Amino acid sequence: MAALPQGIIITEATAKPHSIVYVNPAFTRITGYTAEAAIGRGAGFLVAEDMHQPGLEAIRSALRAGAPAMAVVRSYHQDGHSFWNELHVMPVKVDGGRVTHTLSLLQDVSARVLEEQKLGSLATHDPLTGLANQILLNDRVRQAINHAERDQKLIAVLQIDLDRFKHINEALGHRAGDILLQAVAGRMTECVRDSDTVARVGGDEFVVLLTGIEQEDHLHSIGNKLREALAAPFHCNGQELRITSSIGASLYPRDAQDAETLLRLADLAMYQVKDGGRDDFRCFSRELAQRVTALSALETDLRGALSRQELRLYYQPKADLYSGAMTGVEALIRWQHPTRGLVAPGDFIPLAENSGMIVAIGQWVLHEACRQARAWQQEGFPVMRVAVNLSARQFRQPDLYEQVVHALTVNALDAAWLELELTESMVMSHAESAIALLRRFKQLGVKLSMDDFGTGYSSLGHLRQFPFDTLKIDRSFVQDIVTEPDDALIAQAIIAMAHSLRLNVIAEGVETAGQMQYLRAHLCDEIQGYLFSKPLPAAEATEFMRRAPLLDGAGRHPAVALRTLLLVDDEIEILNALRRQLRRGGYRILTAESGMAALELLALNKVQVILSDQRMPGMTGAELLSRVKLLYPDTVRMVLSGYTELSALTDAINQGAIYKFITKPWDDSDLCALIHEAFVMHDGLAQQGAHSQHGREEISV
Ligand code: C2E
Ligand code: MG
Ligand code: MG
């Protein structure tokens, strides 16, 4: 026993105080105490005053039960320093049961314990920042909940995510990223008390545990303090960096009773901040919880929506401000949910984006829109362009181009009648590849428009690089265009600059005549909005196209203020047919069912071109136009007549009352061309200051 490396102590067990009766030389080497100094004393002297160690408790209770025990306890060397003592204690029994002595083996294991502690720290701390890691954090949150229960205090968990950290890391390199993370950790630690815990739980994700909060609103002030601290510029490798952060928080006991839920809810609140555009602080709330549950239920339903054929396309007409006529439609998706009714895209497109379902949905939209556009063409409607919205994820599909070509081919739709609507952020984030893809679409003949313009960060200057045809001014500007001078100025500037880039400009969300007039006055090209029409299901859109309504006040466009055409015929069907045909020319069209009515209108309006039927009861076309010649010599006068009535017109023609005559039935495109020519003729006359006109050309029959 004397040669053993472990120290040995034998103590008396029958009578108190259980004094030491034997120690070996290793004992002296380990503890510094000689045999003389130890023998006769109770073994407890080795731990000095440090008697309430958990290991000692374990040994005592084992001995009371007559069982062996082992524990690592802090012991004290004769010179006063402490060491970790691995102690094995065994009762020594004689005569089959009675404990007479206790045999203890001791060993200095300080080196091993220190090593373990270091490893232990690794298991509980983040090596880069020295902050607590997820394991330690979970532990601390649990502990904090236990304590908080006792002292009726609140606990808060804040989940902090650095916005766009990935970009910084990629742009500046990982070394700089690491330095930034360390600096962030330092700032967070400075913002909170020593008793709080700051943990790093992911690349750029941190959690702060706040204990002993008195009132809920303290949480807000700490949350915002953290945000501000992180918003101040960082200096990293000689560069100044600015970052923003998204912070979500949850509160014990208000939001959750256990650590896992508390952490999860803070995370959820943080994601809400991210979804809402980042750089904010938000507390978890019941409403948020309900929204999240509702969303996940919706997502489950959405998975089957396509196969159950619950998706619909609505079509919103667009109109030309100049002619007042419809120019095309935008396809807008709706979800006919079996119980919720019609769900708007804003409520499920983001879900579809996040889950990847948008790819299949987007393909369906493309096909359905192309199919409908073709169907309208085949029904004989004037060709309308159909616009399809693309989502960001769809735009990143490597085979998007092929998908579009496929949709066009399958539906036999000419590419010129398809328009794709994209947003600024979609093309700006990967500008190079976006430009290449857009150019391919352009070559294909597809029209491209930039949707929601003005809401992003880009400037019109950037736009120059992209081959867009049309720019859509976002609804948010249009809304206050007649009341907010800033919005009005922005809209004006967008229109002017877009025109200088040769882009067509359309304003979305036009709801009032005032908005329309303002846009018209500032030379916007087209509008879309409830004023002209809401988005309509296909059947109603077809009906709308059949009615072919015109925008109010068309032709009052300043650039064309003088382009008024007066149509006169006693047969209303003919008037309607003419109007439909000529509407696309962009004229303001007035109609009269008799010569008298026509003269009335001429008194009220400045009319450049008049087209009158010849055979009308009361006053013939020739009579009317002869009067017009005297009253309004500048007005270009044309007559519409059956071939057989030609002779009745010769006088009028010879007297210069009639510039041209058009035979019934007319050829549509010839008619349009002739009317156009008449306006050109009028402009020429007006410039020459001529007060009369003569049939300078051959009469066309
Ligand atoms: P957006 O492309 O900017 O479409 C215009 C939105 O404004 C439509 O909302 C339309 O109903 C609404 N709107 C039109 N005129 C007015 C008006 O006068 N007043 C007001 N207050 N609103 C008006 P909707 O249909 O709810 O669509 C919202 C967004 O969802 C669209 O914005 C578009 O970004 C997206 N979206 C719609 N359909 C699709 C689709 O098939 N695919 C994808 N990826 N996104 C779609
Ligand atoms: Mg759109
Ligand atoms: Mg839009």
- Per-residue model confidence as pLDDT tens digits over 571-601: 988 998 888 888 777 788 899 999 988 988 8
3-class state of residue 59 by DSSP:
helix
DSSP 426: H
| Average pLDDT, integer, range 457-479 | 82
3-class state of residue 162 by DSSP:
strand
Atom 22 of ligand 1, nearest CA residue: 509
CB 481 within 8 Å of CB 517 = no
Atom 33 of ligand 1, nearest CA residue: 389
| Contact residues for 331 (Cβ-Cβ < 8 A; gap 6+) | 313, 314, 315, 365, 368, 369, 372, 386, 387, 388, 389
Q: What does the alpha-carbon distance between residue 681 and residue 684 come to, in Å, rounded to a whole number?
A: 5
Q: What does the alpha-carbon distance between residue 342 and residue 347 come to, in Å, rounded to a whole number?
A: 10
In short, whether 533's Cβ falls inside 6 Å of ligand 1 is: no
Q: Which of 508, 512, 531 to mutate to test the pocket of ligand 1 (most atoms within 8 A of CB)?
A: 508
Q: What is the CA(389)–ligand 2 centre distance, in A?
A: 5
Question: What integer pLDDT is reported at residue 655 of this predicted model?
Answer: 78
In short, whether 613's Cβ falls inside 6 Å of ligand 1 is: no
DSSP 548: -
Q: Using alpha carbons only, what angle is made at residue 584 by residues 532 and 669, rounded to the nearest 5 degrees?
A: 155
Residues of the chain above pLDDT 90, percent? 42
Question: What integer pLDDT is reported at residue 3 of this predicted model?
Answer: 67
Q: What is the CA(334)–ligand 1 centre distance, in A?
A: 10
Residue 544 CA, chain-centre distance (Å), reads 32
Nearest atom within ligand 1 for CA of residue 531: 18
pLDDT band at 697 (very low <50, low <70, confident <90, very high): very low
Backbone angles phi, psi at 537, to 5 degrees: -65, 160
Alpha helices per DSSP H over 505-571: 513-521, 538-547
3-class state of residue 87 by DSSP:
strand
Residue 668's alpha-carbon distances to 354, 646, 665, 675, in angstroms, are: 51, 20, 9, 11
Atom 4 of ligand 1, nearest CA residue: 332
In short, whether 452's Cβ falls inside 6 Å of ligand 1 is: yes
Peptide bond into 253 cis (omega under 30): yes
CB 90 within 8 Å of CB 99 = no
The residue among 536 and 682 whose pLDDT is bigger is 536
| Average pLDDT, integer, range 84-105 | 84
| Contact residues for 190 (Cβ-Cβ < 8 A; gap 6+) | 229
Nearest atom within ligand 1 for CA of residue 352: 44
Domains of the chain: 7-116 (3.30.450.20), 124-284 (3.30.70.270), 313-547 (3.20.20.450), 562-691 (3.40.50.2300)
For 614, what's the count of Cα atoms within 13 Å in the CB-facing half-sphere? 22
Whether the per-residue pLDDT at 272 is higher than 60: the answer is yes
Question: What integer pLDDT is reported at residue 2 of this predicted model?
Answer: 60
CB 182 within 8 Å of CB 128 = yes
In short, whether 347's Cβ falls inside 6 Å of ligand 1 is: no
- Per-residue model confidence as pLDDT tens digits over 369-427: 999 999 999 999 887 899 999 999 999 999 999 999 999 999 999 999 999 999 888 88
Residue type, 314: Y
In short, whether 342's Cβ falls inside 6 Å of ligand 1 is: no
* Residue 378 burial class via C-beta count within 10 angstroms: exposed 0-12, middle 13-18, buried 19 and up: exposed
Phi-psi map region of 164: left, alpha, beta (phi>0 left; psi -120 to 50 alpha): left
| Ligand number, closest to the Cα atom of 474 | 3
pLDDT band at 135 (very low <50, low <70, confident <90, very high): confident
- Per-residue model confidence as pLDDT tens digits over 292-324: 788 888 888 999 999 999 999 999 999 999 888
pLDDT band at 238 (very low <50, low <70, confident <90, very high): confident
Backbone angles phi, psi at 277, to 5 degrees: 105, 10
Residues of the chain above pLDDT 70, percent? 95
- Per-residue model confidence as pLDDT tens digits over 136-176: 999 999 999 988 888 788 999 999 999 888 888 877 788 88
Q: Using alpha carbons only, what angle is made at residue 192 by residues 189 and 193, rounded to the nearest 5 degrees?
A: 110
| Average pLDDT, integer, range 76-104 | 85
Q: What does the alpha-carbon distance between residue 302 and residue 338 come to, in Å, rounded to a whole number?
A: 11
DSSP 152: T
| Contact residues for 592 (Cβ-Cβ < 8 A; gap 6+) | 566, 567, 568, 598, 600, 601
In short, whether 421's Cβ falls inside 6 Å of ligand 1 is: yes
- Per-residue model confidence as pLDDT tens digits over 200-209: 998 899 999 9
In short, whether 316's Cβ falls inside 6 Å of ligand 1 is: yes
Residue 602 CA, chain-centre distance (Å), reads 54
In short, whether 333's Cβ falls inside 6 Å of ligand 1 is: yes
Sign of the CA dihedral 426, 428, 429, 430?
A: positive
Q: Are strands 418-423 and 447-453 parallel, antiparallel or unpaired?
A: parallel
Q: Are strands 82-94 and 69-76 parallel, antiparallel or unpaired?
A: antiparallel
Q: Name the maximum alpha-carbon separation found in the chain.
A: 153
Output 76-85 pairs: Cβ under 8 A, ≥24 positions apart.
76/46, 76/47, 76/48, 76/50, 77/31, 77/32, 78/31, 78/32, 78/33, 78/37, 79/32, 82/50, 83/30, 83/108, 83/110, 84/108, 84/109, 84/110, 84/112, 84/113, 85/30, 85/46, 85/109
| Average pLDDT, integer, range 245-273 | 91
Q: Using alpha carbons only, what angle is made at residue 120 by residues 155 and 265, rounded to the nearest 5 degrees?
A: 30
Q: What is the CA(391)–ligand 2 centre distance, in A?
A: 10
In short, whether 398's Cβ falls inside 6 Å of ligand 1 is: no
pLDDT band at 461 (very low <50, low <70, confident <90, very high): low
3-class state of residue 85 by DSSP:
strand
| Contact residues for 601 (Cβ-Cβ < 8 A; gap 6+) | 566, 590, 592, 607
DSSP 125: B
Q: What is the CA(390)–ligand 3 centre distance, in A?
A: 11
Whether the per-residue pLDDT at 558 is higher than 50: the answer is no
In short, whether 454's Cβ falls inside 6 Å of ligand 1 is: no
Asked which of 123-127, 186-190, 217-221, 692-696 is least confident by mean pLDDT, the reply is: 692-696
Q: What does the alpha-carbon distance between residue 469 and residue 420 come to, in Å, rounded to a whole number?
A: 10
Whether the per-residue pLDDT at 477 is higher than 90: the answer is no
- Round the average pLDDT of the chain to a whole number and report it: 86
Sign of the CA dihedral 178, 181, 187, 192?
A: negative
Around ion ligand 2, which residues have CB less than 5 A away? 389, 421, 451
Q: What does the alpha-carbon distance between residue 659 and residue 693 come to, in Å, rounded to a whole number?
A: 8
